[in-house]
Amino acid sequence: QVQLQESGPGLVKPSQTLSLTCTVSGGSISSGSYYWSWIRQPAGKGLEWIGRIYTSGSTNYNPSLKSRVTISVDTSKNQFSLKLSSVTAADTAVYYCARVGFREAFDIWGQGTMVTVSS
């Protein structure tokens, strides 16, 4: 079955760019009509949707982060990626990648990766 796995640095300095990759295994990222999303969760808080990408490269972002976010896809590597620029301590969170399934529910999630923004 399809599984997702996030990877990337666990520590990023303020004002720098956070970069994460989600690797899809057990199936092709291009099969089916799915969007692929990034979601984050600060410690002890709720979930915030960051954005999504279709395998064609079409993207949608949360307006609250839109000026700093870029999501891209590499179908040859079965991966999609997140870049968040000009990070501050407020961007410290667990970052999840997820598949957007039927009726746009997040039906498959990665295990999450903790990213801390600190000098």
Partner 1 sequence: DIQMTQSPSSLSASVGDRVTITCRASQSISSYLNWYQQKPGKAPKLLIYAASSLQSGVPSRFSGSGSGTDFTLTISSLQPEDFATYYCQQSYSTLPYSFGQGTKLEIK
Binding site for partner 1 (CB under 8 A): 37, 46-49, 60-64, 96, 101-107, 109-112
Q: How far is the CB of 92 from partner 1 (least distance, A)?
A: 16
Q: Which is nearer to partner 1, 35 or 87 (CB)?
A: 35
CB of 104 to partner 1, least distance (A): 3
- In a 10 Å sphere around its CB, with 0-12 CB exposed, 13-18 middle and 19+ buried, how is residue 119 labelled? exposed
Minimum Å distance from CB 97 to partner 1? 10
Is the Cβ of residue 19 or residue 65 nearer to partner 1 in the bound state? 65
Rounded Cα distance between 67 and 79, Å, is 23
* Closer Cβ to partner 1, 60 or 75, answer by number: 60
* Helices and strands per DSSP (H, E), number in the chain: 0, 11
HSE (side-chain half, CA atoms, 13 Å) at 33: 3
